[in-house]
Structure 1
């Protein structure tokens, strides 16, 4: 009986040992699982922070790139707009110059009309062949239209002493303009002049009763072919 009791006690571990082993195992598992959880938690936190930082950097770079692209596009547009404006201004200037070259004008400014075309009297051997503009000596005289100088000099440029110093310009439409009684001639024969270009200074030379510009429109360069200059100017939309 005593032997059986001894066998049973040796075959079963004591309850305190079993409990201790279970507790130890539990603590070990807890430590292992806790460390793993802590490790996993630490790893996850680091990865999220890096991802956020990387995302912020990428957004900043993207914004800078977008801003630079917009700035470059605006600069290109501004440059194109400026070039277009300059091109239009040049075209407008060219058109204005072309229009001016194609137009006619009065040869002097701030004038008083005196003897007109067809006037008779003791001062002329025949009726007056042009339109007189009373202006002070030294007034700027301009080409009434684009053309080429065919006469320039004293003695009416070859038309006679009554005209004093004179200039005759040939125009592309088959007409000629004449400017007489000048104090100074500032062009030479063969010179090309444009509408409004200075060609002389007014005076009182030749057969003149006072300072003025004698202006004619002719159908040839020579005396005797004059037509009414005022009517002609009206036909080319110049009114005096």
Structure 2
């Protein structure tokens, strides 16, 4: 075989390899998005692009939190089921001691089902309050608010601003009273700290 034939075969092989790399890159970009297409242009001749290697940088991106704390920079005060003279029986939620006017956010995405004074229908002890229904069959309640910034029927996302903390209703100082409930109404509360911790929130 002559040197010319051997050289032609080498060039043909190199062209085929580059074509395969380019095709793999284009295929990955169709499946995974245009951001992957440039990977084929920067590879050395003979390197291969696989869907797994193209996905790797995207997989490393942080997944948004499913649940979050309803306020930041707080001190835990009265806890769930704690006895005391301030409550009819035992405490129905967890208190987050924060200054009045602290931003309150939705602990999880959902639909506002109650918002207003008089505990949003749960009684004057709660002051201004909000209840959010979540897709997993649970409800969160936020009480003693100084200002309510959402309305019943509004859809909110995880971490979205909904209110400002306050000292309304039966309250001995500014804080957020937070409940996790199995219904939208008073009397169905479960331990909110245990619940949030089960969702990966550090409380």
Write the distance in 2 (CA, Å) between the matches of 1:231 and 1:86: 45
Shift of 1:235: 1.0
Q: Which runs of 4+ in 1 moved over 2 A?
A: 85-88
Write out aligned runs for 1:171-182 (5 A): 171-182=134-145
User: For the residues of structure 1 that align with 2:112 and 2:180, how far apart are their CA atoms?
Assistant: 14
Q: 1:84 aligns with which of 35, 39, 51?
A: 35
Question: 1:144 maps to which residue?
Answer: 107
Unaligned runs of 5+ in 1: 1-79
Which residue, 187, 191, 196 being the options, matches 2:154?
191
Question: What is the TM-score of this pair, normalised by structure 2?
Answer: 0.71
Specify the alignment match of 1:119 in structure 2.
82
In the TM superposition, 1:35-184 aligns within 5 A as 83-84=34-35, 99-100=63-64, 103-184=66-147
Residues 78-105 of structure 1, C-alpha deviations (whole Å, 9 max, x = no match)? xx9xx526999xx95xx76xx43x6001
The structure with more radius of gyration:
1
CA shift for structure 1 position 219? 0.1
Q: How far apart in 2 are the matches of 1:86 and 1:187?
A: 43
Answer yes or no: is 1:213 the counterpart of 2:176: yes
Aligned equivalents of 1:176, 1:231: Cα separation in 2: 15
Q: Which residue of 1 aligns with 2:165?
A: 202
Greater RCO, CA 8 A, separation 6+:
2
RMSD (Å) for aligned C-alpha atoms: 2.7
- In 2: Cα distance, 1:86 partner to 1:217 partner: 46
Aligned residues: 157
Separation of aligned partners in 2, 1:239 and 1:226: 20
SS at match of 2:115: strand
Report the structure, 1 or 2, having the larger helix content. Answer: 1
Secondary structure of the residue aligned to 1:221 is coil
In structure 1, the residue matched to 2:196 is 233
